[in-house]
Chain A
Amino acid sequence: MTRRRADRASLGSALLWLGPALLLIGGVVVLPAVELVRASLSRFSITGLRLGDAGTRNYTAVLQHPMLGTVVLNTVIWVVAVVALTVVISLGVAQFLTKDFWGRTVVRWAVIVPWAASLVITAKTFVMIYDYYYGTLNLLLGAVGLGPVDFLGSDAWIMASMVLVGVFVSIPFTSYVFVAGLNATPVEVYEAARVDGAGPFQTWWRITLPLLRPALLVAVVLNIINVFNSFPIIYVLNDRNPGFGHDTTITFMYKLAFKSAEKDVGMSAAAGVFNVLLILVVVVVYLRFTRWREESA
């Protein structure tokens, strides 16, 4: 009897515990996804009014968009550059943060700040730094006799300017993942390495880096997703550039819906579906690739 009662209670309480999460997943993940697909299959007026079914017209419109190639290339450059630079710099920052030095707590807090600040605010701050006429960066360049650089308007500079901000805001999280990874590596291994006469570089290459592999994997995957989906930095810094010349797939999707001559919610939704598929494929491929490396090692 008692056992039965326990069974029933556990089921009820399981539902009680799981219910909110299920509702949340349903409301925040499943429902919007369903709506996105529905919207992508619909024909919309410029006002946002649904006019009827579109079939696959929105998808072909996205695929045939004259700027799609540029936008995809921008996205690849953006994601690869930001993630690669972030990981490399964060490895150094993490090494530094795990060292014992005076004022380490303050430095650790300082590293978190860019993470805690709103991305839009950070982006607007960088607009002020980069501005051609008033930007602090150009004031500094002017002081040492270098002409002003149009960081946000020049086709040659804008991507690099955006990547720098992207790296700046990605470093905190990534560094802390590496700090956690470094703290988890056993001290004995290093002692053994020292006894065996390994130099600092050899120790890092042969011991630290391999032991950091799980942390690296997490950091890279999360950063790829995060950076790929990053909207505010590109939207704010690229604000004065007309057209799609420096957009990634995320801002492309937004402009299709609200800012460009297309102004088509359905087409934007189709671009959104492509975005989700793209990031899924990238992450799966990355995970496969790293597992293959693990097995062959």
Chain B
Amino acid sequence: MVRAHRSLALTAAIASVAALGLTACSGGAGSSSAGGGAGDGSGKKVTRIKLVAAEYSKDHTAAFWKQFAEKYKQKTGIDLDVQVVSWDTIDQTSSTMLQNNNAPDILNLNAYASYAKDGLLYNGDEVLPASAKSDILDAFDKSGTYNGKLYGFPDLSSARAFFYNKALFSKAGIAAPPKTWSELEADAKRISALGDGSIGYALPLGPEESQGEFSMWLFNNNGSWKKDGKWTINSPENVKTLSFLKKLTDEKVTQNNPGKTNRADAFNLFASGKVGMVVGFSPLAAQLDKAGTVQYGVAPMPTQASEPQTFGVTDYLMAFKKPGNQEAVKAFYDLYYQKDQVNQFIKAEGFLPVTRSGLDFFKDDAKLKVYLDTLPNAHLTPTDDPTWDKVKLAVQQNLGAAVSPGGDPQKVLDTLQEQAGNGS
């Protein structure tokens, strides 16, 4: 009897542990097959959707989405769970969610094309109200379009501009911000010659955002990342551009070690008043205004082209196909692209609009004028190509090497070009 009981209990125990193990497995076994339900709207409608949003600022992002979720619930009766994630970890968060077959309904990220390529997303025809679609600025409509359909819906944008330190300029006897690269080089030399730790031009080519800094320069040398469907990373213009940046580095008119300086570090140096010139954007202006210690001017980027070009960036809100969530997602966008919602968000975060009505909304803001004028013609990175999602990372991890001692711009760009060619 005892023996029987014992073995029975043991079997039960093993069985229960095994069962628990199995359920746990099936819970985490999302990796077993491609995700993305039919999403045809048939069947049960969801009563709760999830948004994973990038944190633009500690003060405003969570607050905006909180009030948004309340309005959304009021309007639709559907709950909106908001998870705000820092930019440092959002790639990891989204990747892990997909791996576990647990995608959010809406994801806010700086890339979308790979997700569209994997067939995970709704396109604009399915979930974007017509009024919102026609309101999106052409440049962003283009960059959000993959294979002829809009998949990346822009949430906000920014455009780069050239910042200079007025106090250092007058100390060095420079009357006006430079218009050409040779003027910039000469001014950088004069500012560096002031001594006392003065830095002519702050050049961040570190892993955080080197593709952004390089974009601003290459567009102003008639260069491009991709042209007529072909990668042009190692074009002669781009090699010249990177060689010029290496020259600035070698002449020691930049900060120490530009290949290992992140954008945030360059901005901090400019905010400390040591730096003569830097490529910034509207949030940097907000940071400088708040501190109030640096007298700065904002000017068009010095250029080799016929007129100054600007580099624009937009991030995206993309929607994942999941059974029964189509209506809820559509209602989300309907509310988000209301003039007061999207623009209130953009205003609080200090960025730029993505819609025609947004341009109108901000037109009276004198501080934003320099950006708004250039925004409709801004050059963007080729975010509509899934290959870019990898090329961008390769650029971030390798571009800095070109300006380090013994670095070879031609070789670095050749390697990147080759990687881009293999990636598609």
Contact = CB atoms under 8 A, between A and B. Distances in A.
Contacts of B98: 47-49
Interface stretch (B23-31, B48-56, B307-315): B23-31
A128 to B, nearest CB: 12
Interface in A12-43: 12, 15, 19, 22-23, 26-27, 30-31, 34-35, 38-39, 42
B321 interface: no
B389 A260 contact: no
A46 B114 contact: yes
Interface residues of A, number: 46
Interface string B1-37: 1100110011001000100110011001011111100
Contacts of B259: 242
A10 B156 CA distance: 65
Q: Is the interface of B mostly helix, strand, loop or mixed?
A: helix
Interface stretch (B58-66, B174-182, B214-222, B391-399): B391-399
A133 B256 CA distance: 9
Contacts of A47: 94-95, 98, 114-115, 118, 120
Given A7-B6, A47-B98, A51-B34, A263 B393 contact: yes
B189 interface: no
B343 interface: no
Contacts of B377: none
A255 to B, nearest CB: 8
Contacts of A243: 397-398, 401
B21 A26 contact: yes
A162 to B, nearest CB: 15
A4 interface: yes
A50 interface: yes
A246 to B, nearest CB: 10
A31 B25 contact: yes
Contacts of A11: 5-6, 9-10
Interface string A229-257: 00000000001111100000000000001
Given A11-B6, A31-B28, A261-B397, A46 B265 contact: no
A45 interface: yes
A243 B92 CA distance: 18
A115 interface: no
B91 A38 contact: no
Interface string B177-221: 000000000000000000001000000001110100000000000
A265 interface: yes
Given A23-B17, A48-B95, A261-B397, A39 B2 contact: no
Interface in A190-243: 239-243
A132 interface: yes
Contacts of B208: 240
B256 A150 contact: yes
A288 interface: no
B390 A26 contact: no
Q: Residue among B10, B21, B274 with the most chain A CB within 10 A?
A: B21
A30 B20 CA distance: 12
Interface residues of B, number: 61
Contacts of A291: none
Given A26-B17, A49-B118, A15 B207 contact: no
B99 interface: yes
Contacts of A265: 95, 99
A133 B31 CA distance: 46
Given A15-B13, A44-B99, A48-B94, A26 B115 contact: no
A242 B269 CA distance: 20
A132 B257 contact: yes
A154 B274 CA distance: 22
A8 B118 contact: no
A239 B32 CA distance: 34
B305 interface: no
A114 interface: no
A239 B206 CA distance: 9
A191 B252 CA distance: 66
A132 B210 CA distance: 20
A52 to B, nearest CB: 9
A260 B386 CA distance: 15
Nearest to A132: B256
Q: Residue among B99, B118, B399 with the most chain A CB within 10 A?
A: B99
Given A153-B257, A240-B206, A260-B397, A133 B269 contact: yes
A258 interface: yes
Given A47-B120, A48-B94, A242 B397 contact: yes
B92 to A, nearest CB: 5
A260 B6 CA distance: 54
Contacts of B206: 240-242
A89 to B, nearest CB: 30
Contact of A48 (B97, B255, B398): B97
Interface string B114-152: 110110100000000000000000000000000000000
Interface string A50-91: 110000000000000000000000000000000000000000
Nearest to B99: A48
Contact of A4 (B2, B28, B118, B272): B2
B5 to A, nearest CB: 6
A50 B397 contact: no
Given A242-B260, A259-B397, A50 B99 contact: yes
A23 B265 CA distance: 46
29 contacts: A8-B6, A12-B9, A15-B9, A15-B13, A22-B17, A23-B20, A26-B20, A26-B24, A30-B21, A31-B28, A35-B31, A39-B99, A42-B31, A47-B120, A48-B94, A48-B95, A49-B99, A50-B31, A50-B34, A132-B257, A153-B257, A242-B260, A242-B400, A243-B401, A259-B91, A260-B393, A260-B394, A263-B390, A265-B95
Interface of A: 4, 7-8, 11-12, 15, 19, 22-23, 26-27, 30-31, 34-35, 38-39, 42, 44-51, 132-134, 148, 150, 152-154, 239-243, 257-261, 263, 265
